[in-house]
């Protein structure tokens, strides 16, 4: 099982590296969003009125749409035959787990890169960097855990891409409410101890949802 997960993960990374257009596309998308946001808050060459709250809301909206694109690739992007071939080579649950891990790692990396450039361009200061990074890590993991199964569900239906957004957005709200608050607290310099229950809640939602996904995935991969 562990070897299979490693093999599928390796395959995902190699594929991503070979067809760079997907990753580059995402990074370019993030860059465009950040520039648009920064420009719209610009007045006389200065960023004004961008409060920590607005900053965090916009940041997580960017990441939410990044997550949709990242996750859509894992099941909707693949052709049916390819996935079946993959399930023949490795345990389907291992394939699913590898894809979920890959999604969360990719989401966390993109989150950190875009967070860095977004901070730089909007001239915001993070008072508590550790909490900020922890928020991106737990939030990225929870979003990936939430959306990977939904992507597998949506890939079975008609009108896949719209359905993916409709099915997953309401489910992500418990995570988003908490990570937006956490990001704001990190920008304003609150400590981890003040926010421990939120961090635990986001991580807990991620862990519970990934376990539930692992139980449920065997029922849907076959048809």
Partner 1 sequence: MVRHLYKAAGAGLVLYALIAGLMTELPVMGPMGQSNRNIFYHVPMWFAVVVMMGVSVFNSIRYLRMTDPDYERSGAGNDLALTDIKASESAKTGVLFNILGLVTGMVWSRVTWSSHLPANRFDAWWIWDPIQICALVSLLIYLAYFLLRSTFQDEEQKAKISSVYNIFAFVTLIPLYFIIPKMLPGAHPTAANSDAGGGSFVMAGKLGGDFSIIFWPSIIGFILMGYWVYELQMRTAAVSLTLSEEE
The site for partner 1 (CB under 8 A) is made up of: 146, 149-150, 153, 156-159, 163, 166-167, 169-171, 173-174, 177-178, 197-198, 201, 205, 208-209, 212-213, 216, 219-220, 223
What is the nearest approach in angstroms of partner 1 to the Cβ of residue 11? Answer: 25
What is the nearest approach in angstroms of partner 1 to the Cβ of residue 160? Answer: 9
| 98 CB-near residues (< 8 Å, 6+ apart) | 4, 5, 6, 8, 9, 12
What is the nearest approach in angstroms of partner 1 to the Cβ of residue 202? Answer: 10
Tokens matching residue 208: 């519970």
Q: By C-beta, is 114 or 148 nearer to partner 1?
A: 148
| Three-point CA angle 104, 181, 115, nearest 5° | 50
What is the nearest approach in angstroms of partner 1 to the Cβ of residue 177? Answer: 6
Q: By C-beta, is 66 or 149 nearer to partner 1?
A: 149
Q: By C-beta, is 25 or 204 nearer to partner 1?
A: 204
Q: By C-beta, is 30 or 152 nearer to partner 1?
A: 152
Q: Which long-range contacts (CB under 8 A, 24 or more apart) does 199-203 make?
A: 199/131, 199/134, 199/135, 199/138, 202/135, 202/138, 202/139, 202/142, 202/175, 202/178, 203/138, 203/141, 203/142
What is the nearest approach in angstroms of partner 1 to the Cβ of residue 101? Answer: 18
Q: By C-beta, is 95 or 153 nearer to partner 1?
A: 153
């Amino acid at each position: 099982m562990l070897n299979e997960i490693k093999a599928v993960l390796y395959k995902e990374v190699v594929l991503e590296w070979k067809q760079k257009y997907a990753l580059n596309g995402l990074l370019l998308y993030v860059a465009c969003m950040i520039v648009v946001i920064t420009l719209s808050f610009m007045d006389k060459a200065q960023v004004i009125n961008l409060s920590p709250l607005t900053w965090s809301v916009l940041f997580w909206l960017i990441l939410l749409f990044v997550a949709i694109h990242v996750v859509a690739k894992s099941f909707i992007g693949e052709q049916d035959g390819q996935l079946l071939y993959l399930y023949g080579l490795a345990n389907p649950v291992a394939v699913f787990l590898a894809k979920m891990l890959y999604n969360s790692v990719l989401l966390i990396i993109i989150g950190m890169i875009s967070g860095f450039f977004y901070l730089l361009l909007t001239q915001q200061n993070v008072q508590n960097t550790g909490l900020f990074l922890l928020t991106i890590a737990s939030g990225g993991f929870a979003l990936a855990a939430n959306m990977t199964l939904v992507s597998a569900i949506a890939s079975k239906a008609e009108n896949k891409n719209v359905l993916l957004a409709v099915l997953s957005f309401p489910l992500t709200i418990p995570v988003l409410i908490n990570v937006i608050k956490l990001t704001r607290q990190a920008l304003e310099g609150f400590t981890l101890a003040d926010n421990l229950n939120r961090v635990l809640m986001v991580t807990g939602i991620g862990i519970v949802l990934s376990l539930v996904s692992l139980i449920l995935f065997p029922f849907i991969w076959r048809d």
